[in-house]
Structure 1
Amino acid sequence: MPEERQRRIVLVRHAKSDWPDVDDHDRPLAERGRKAAPLAGRWLAEHGLTPDLALVSTAVRTRETWALMAAELPTAPETVYDERLYDIGLGEQLIALLAETPDEVVTLLVLGHNPVVHEAADALADEADDEDQLARMQGRFPTAAIAVLTFQGPWTRVGPGAARLTAYRTPKDA
């Protein structure tokens, strides 16, 4: 039986992307994104939020965001580039993907796109350590924003309303 331990979900929206004349999937980071991504990684490191596993969309801007974030972490987590995170259509579908996480993972980072990342964060967060942070997160989820949520139990039990928002950070907070 899976352990009844506290788990953490770190939801991250990719940093600011550029808009060159390329396929959406191939859009790179803008200069602003290249500056924000390492700051996000540093924030994770400073708060002891190095993930055991990172699930990252296959889009160029998410892979670039992750490379810059991961370089700031004390250890390199296992990373899986998952095509489903690029095409996923609803926050509920992202939450269903979280339930596939192996039981040995305590902290899972998911780096994807809006509006799905924002929808999933809103749906998961039933309460918060700081109600002002919850209200800010529910209002907007800008590029390079991070929501940290916790819940008790196995990953198969994660679902809408199952988590508590413990931190919310945007680039403007840096």
Structure 2
Amino acid sequence: MSVDTPRRIVLLRHAKADWPQTSDHERPLAERGRTDAPVAGRRLAETGIAFDLALCSTAVRTRETWKLAVHELPQRPRTVYEERLYDASLGELIALVNETPDTVANLLLIGHNPGMHALADALSGAAEGDALARMDRSGFPTSAFAVVAFDGSWKTVEHGMSGTLVDFWTPHD
């Protein structure tokens, strides 16, 4: 696969989590999260994107979100549970994306805010339709996802790049 191959990165924020007396990393999904995650999976399937790789935070709520969402996809991508996605800064997220092999055309990240919103914002130099206005207005709620398209190698992904926000979806639009 050429480094000029069109690529897409999809940023999925975990579904709504509960607040039990446990560490943040161990927080499970709330009832609403268990309802919204499969809906997000169905909407991901409707995009028609065949994911080559899914990188999922190791936090309980992200793993549960992915488990419920992936069953809605026509085929399960290779999944890697990545500790560095938990509580990652924008710079850490970009560094992680830069490590993606160029054999991957479509990458899915399942993570947390504020990182998912910051990364979508940083990579979206342009937008289709009202996707950017909807993302700015909603603030990237739980179970939301953004689809950013760009040409080039994953190694070229950086803040301010000229990717295009082609879709932004939330479960409660």
Q: How high is the TM-score relative to the length of structure 1?
A: 0.94
**1:92 CA displacement:** 2.5
2:52 maps to: 52
CA distance in structure 2 between the partners assigned to 1:143 and 1:120 by the alignment: 15
Q: Residue by residue, what CA displacement relative to the aligned partner does 1:109-142 show, whole Å, maximum 9, x if unpaired?
A: 0010101111111111100011x22022123100
Q: List structure 1 segments (4+ residues) > 6 angstroms apart after TM superposition.
A: none
CA distance in 2, matches of 1:28, 1:120: 24
Q: CA RMSD in A?
A: 1.2
Letter in 2 for 1:134: L
Q: Which SS does the other structure have where 1:127 is aligned?
A: strand
Matched residues in 1 for 2:52 and 2:32: separation?
28
Gaps of 5+ in 2: none
- Normalising to structure 2: TM-score of the pair? 0.95
Query: After superposition, where does 1:84-123 map in structure 2 within 5 Å?
Result: 84-88=84-88, 90-123=89-122
Which residues in structure 2 correspond to 1:95-174 (within 5 Å)?
Answer: 95-130=94-129, 132-139=130-137, 140-162=139-161, 163-173=163-173
> How much does 1:84 deviate?
0.4
- The alignment partner of 1:84 has SS state of helix
**Cα distance in 1 for residues equivalent to 2:41 and 2:80:** 17
CA distance in 1 between partners of 2:136 and 2:95 (Å):
20
